Amino acid sequence: MALWLAGMIRGASYYKKTLISITTRSSRAFASSGARDADKGSFRTPYMASATAFISRRFRSSVAGQQLDHFSSHDDEDKGQVRTLDFPGGRVPYTSEMRFLPGSSENRVECYRVLDDDGYPLSSTPFQHIDKEVAVKMYRGMVTLQAMDTVIYEAQRQGRISFYMTSYGEEAVNLGSAAALSSDDIVLPQYREPGVMLWRGFELQEFVNQFFGNKNDIGKGRQMPTHYGSNKHNVITISAPLATQLPQAVGAAYSIKMDKKDACVVTYFGDGCSSEGDFHASLNFAAVMEVPIVYICRNNGWAISTPVTDQFRSDGIVVKGQAYGIPSIRVDGNDALAVYNAVGAARKVAINEQRPVLVEALTYRVGHHSTSDDSTKYRPIDEIEHWKTARNPVSIFRNWVQRRSWWSDKQESDFRAHIRKQVIHAVQVAEKTEKSPVGSIFCDVYENVPPNLMEQEKLLKETIRRYPQDFPKDVPLGN
């Protein structure tokens, strides 16, 4: 203990300079630096503040070794008292005190927010300047997402499509993060981030074509509804198995690094995903490969029926990022501005420093897991209501936007009516559109159709001609 303390004292000035990171910094420290800058009359963005912190806290094995020199005393070593272990991963200080690290820290990692539940900026929190144009586009995106969810959920209930997953409650994570990215950033989504595609210009009609699996669906009607992707929009197509996108994202980010692009990879996942082996493989790879990647975890409290208390006993996901050597931040996922700021800052660090950053957004899955689920079987309705009303991310952001006179009640009602009509129109168009021809079952298995599939296609077409009643009428036979 004595040695450890001595080391601490010697290392104190180093820690003062370096240990501030967005994972450990208190909001007060954050606020005061911003306030100081404001006093000087310059608007210093959190991006810059964060970037400084990241640069000064980079753990490589060799760097770790140097850092730990602060703890070792060569004088002591000369006297035969070795105080550090020269380990392959860097020097490690010795201690005579047997002390276990606690399973969790006494205080939970704080949650960064900009707006309160009524959409008022927290006085102590500076926020990134955001243009009216961006803010309004974000808000319109959130409302569009709600309109799409309402109409398509109903369409599924009417049996018009087979399946749907809403994003209710997570609109701010969707649009706040999407707005903070560049369209060159490659996105590997899970399945509850359609807002990112909306932001990038994926049309409502394109979404609805995918839900119906018609001939205009990019995926040719092969995947379940909500499993979309678009090369043009730099969004890699969704796969239903969970967390599989995470290690892939590291490979994609390595490519961006090798190509020296001014972009990063952004990958989304939920709290449940963080239990999968792929999550852990991904974070470790990303830290070791030093790739520009932003992890965005939508910690919405529920993986289908499994609450986070059955999922992990750590303080959420944010501490796991740190455990893998990845700078990490926890944000209020229902505060679009906080998400926008944090993801923007994370993106800058990922690109400028070529390293991974993790953002854990605390939010809530207000909807059922999917149309196959009834979440009232396993969670209290009060809880859902609370998040739907008191913590509604769309209302919070609307309050803020409207208070700045960037939005009005009239615009609200006009836009909601307009967008609803658009979604309904898209459904009507998609429903009337026939499916892809039979041949599209066999293409894209490989780059070229191999002989066994050619033969199976021929046989299938013969069967269809013999028994047309066995097959859906809206799938053309083709050539």
Q: Is 242 in the site for other proteins (CB under 8 A)?
A: yes
Q: Is 19 in the site for other proteins (CB under 8 A)?
A: no
Min dist CB 387 to other proteins, Å, is 19
Q: Strands of 328-332's sheet, edge to edge? A: 186-188, 265-270, 293-299, 356-362, 328-332
Burial class for 408, CB neighbours closer than 10 Å (0-12, 13-18, 19+): exposed
Is the distance from CB of 167 to CB of 190 less than 8 angstroms?
A: no
> What phi, psi does 91 have (nearest 5°)?
-75, 140
Q: Which of 24, 150, 275, 352 binds other proteins (CB under 8 A)?
A: 275
Stretch that binds other proteins, among 7-15, 75-83, 105-113, 469-477 (CB under 8 A): 469-477
Which CB sits closer to other proteins, 150 or 456?
Answer: 456
Which CB sits closer to other proteins, 92 or 429?
Answer: 429
Q: Which two tokens stand for residue 18?
A: 């370096």
Q: Which of 278, 332, 335, 360 binds other proteins (CB under 8 A)?
A: 278
Write a three-state SS string for 31-82: HHHHHHHHHCCCCCCHHHHHHHHHHCCCCCHHHHHHHHHHHCCHHHHHCCCC
Segments of 80-197 assigned E as strands:
84-87, 90-93, 186-188
Q: Which of 26, 372, 389, 428 binds other proteins (CB under 8 A)?
A: 372
Q: Which of 23, 125, 177, 223 binds other proteins (CB under 8 A)?
A: 223
Min dist CB 220 to other proteins, Å, is 8
Residues 6+ apart with CB under 8 A from 450: none
Task: Give CA 381 to chain center in angstroms.
Answer: 26
Is the distance from CB of 205 to CB of 426 less than 8 angstroms?
A: yes
Q: Is 163 in the site for other proteins (CB under 8 A)?
A: yes
Q: Is 470 in the site for other proteins (CB under 8 A)?
A: yes
Give buried/exposed letters for 26-45 (b at 16+ CB in 10 A, else e). Answer: eeeebbebbeebeeeeeeeb
Write each residue from 388 to 427 as x if it is in contact with other proteins (CB under 8 A), else as -, in one continuous string. Answer: ----------------------------------------
Q: Which of 136, 323, 424, 460 binds other proteins (CB under 8 A)?
A: 460
Give buried/exposed letters for 450-466 (b at 16+ CB in 10 A, else e). Answer: eeeeeeebeebeeeeee
Which CB sits closer to other proteins, 276 or 412?
Answer: 276
Amino acid at site 122: L
Min dist CB 126 to other proteins, Å, is 37
Min dist CB 458 to other proteins, Å, is 12
For 356, the 3-state DSSP assignment is strand
Q: Is 378 in the site for other proteins (CB under 8 A)?
A: yes
Q: Is 471 in the site for other proteins (CB under 8 A)?
A: yes
Q: Is 87 in the site for other proteins (CB under 8 A)?
A: no
Looking at the DSSP assignment, which residues form a beta bridge with residue 294?
A: 266, 357
Q: Is 241 in the site for other proteins (CB under 8 A)?
A: yes
Min dist CB 140 to other proteins, Å, is 31
Q: Which of 76, 116, 117, 276 binds other proteins (CB under 8 A)?
A: 276
Query: How many other CB atoms sit within 10 Å of the CB of residue 265?
Result: 29
Looking at the DSSP assignment, which residues form a beta bridge with residue 306?
A: 303
Q: Is 224 in the site for other proteins (CB under 8 A)?
A: yes
Burial class for 441, CB neighbours closer than 10 Å (0-12, 13-18, 19+): middle
Residues 6+ apart with CB under 8 A from 74: none
Please report, as residue ranges, which positions from 293 to 332 form the binding site for other proteins (by CB under 8 A): 303-306, 310-312
Q: Is 64 in the site for other proteins (CB under 8 A)?
A: no
Number of residues located near other proteins, criterion CB under 8 A: 48
Which CB sits closer to other proteins, 16 or 313?
Answer: 313
Is the distance from CB of 272 to CB of 256 less than 8 angstroms?
A: no
Stretch that binds other proteins, among 62-70, 138-146, 168-176, 445-453 (CB under 8 A): 445-453
Which CB sits closer to other proteins, 120 or 163?
Answer: 163
Which CB sits closer to other proteins, 15 or 471?
Answer: 471
How far, in Å, CA of 218 to CA of 216, rounded? Answer: 6
Positions touching other proteins (CB under 8 A) are 162-163, 213, 221-224, 227, 239-242, 272-273, 275-278, 303-306, 310-312, 372-373, 377-378, 435-436, 438, 440-442, 445, 452-453, 456, 460, 463-464, 466-467, 470-472, 475
